[in-house]
Amino acid sequence: MNSLRRDKMLHFIEEHESATLKQLHALFPQLSTMTIHRDLEFLAQKGAIRRIWGGAQVVRNAVEAEFEEREQENSSFKNAMAKKAVSLIKPGDSIFLDAGTSCFALAKLIPDIDINIFTIGPNIAIELMKLNRPSINICGGNLNRSNLSLSGQNTLEMISDINIDMAFVGSGGYSHESGFTGGKESEARVKSLVVKKARVVVAMTDSSKIGKTRPFPFAKLQDFHYIIDDGRLPGHVLSVAADLNITVL
């Protein structure tokens, strides 16, 4: 009996993504609040739910939770960057979207027009499926679960065989000495190839990355044609960009 009740309770929480004690008491009016607490504790110890104040919620996939957490960081600035970046996209373009939260914000704003889109972000491809007209191409490879990025030999081979009008590229860090850098060698190699292949390269690097240096460099500032400013880029970066005739949006 307890097992059937707990299964029903779990199904309700999963269906609604969360449940309050009041909702669960309405579902099981014959139960005491103490019994509901015990059932929730039992489900939580099994890892089926997570206890929150006044109820419980589903246990999100750890990858999804990590990405969503990073997506919420500086979200208003990333959305502002995306609005600037999308103004560069024209019908007929062949564009590349890097993985990461800044390019994911851009993907949400891309209009339903005839363009070819290549990406190493599976979640970005899924977001773009909401559109009818763009051709969506995933550059397959090995998946980094922490940032939902594909890389590896297969990725490099596919990118080597395509033409890219405009590439939107993120980074793990930027410093004047080291340039643009990333945390994984395989991903840095992909970015480096994209920067070389694209006719126009756009830096989607918010101010939180300035001054940070990751292990693997993939480009210098002069390799970019545009920098998307989140409104907080330091003056020395803007000054060097101006000297290099890089357009800052």
Question: Per-residue confidence of the chain (249 residues) as pLDDT tens digits?
Answer: 677 888 888 888 888 878 899 899 898 899 898 998 989 988 888 778 888 888 888 765 444 445 555 545 557 888 999 999 999 999 999 999 999 899 999 999 999 999 999 999 999 999 999 999 999 999 999 998 878 899 999 999 999 999 999 999 999 899 999 999 998 999 999 999 999 999 999 999 888 889 988 899 999 999 999 999 988 999 999 999 999 999 999
Decide: 25 and 33 in contact? Cβ < 8 Å. yes
Cβ neighbours for 190, distance < 8 A, ≥ 6 positions apart: 120, 139, 141, 151, 155, 156, 159
pLDDT of 141 reads: 95
The alpha-carbon radius of gyration of the chain (Å, integer) is 23
State residue 1's pLDDT score: 62
User: What per-residue confidence (pLDDT) applies to 13?
Assistant: 85
Confidence (pLDDT) at 180: 96
CA angle 189, 190, 194 (to 5 degrees): 115
Residue 48's H or E segment, with its range, is none
Give the residue among 179, 160, 161 at the shortest CA–CA distance from 169: 179
Domains and CATH numbers, the chain: 2-59 (1.10.10.10), 68-248 (3.40.50.1360)
* Collapsed DSSP state (helix, strand, coil) of residue 242: helix
Q: Residue 91 in 3-state DSSP? A: coil
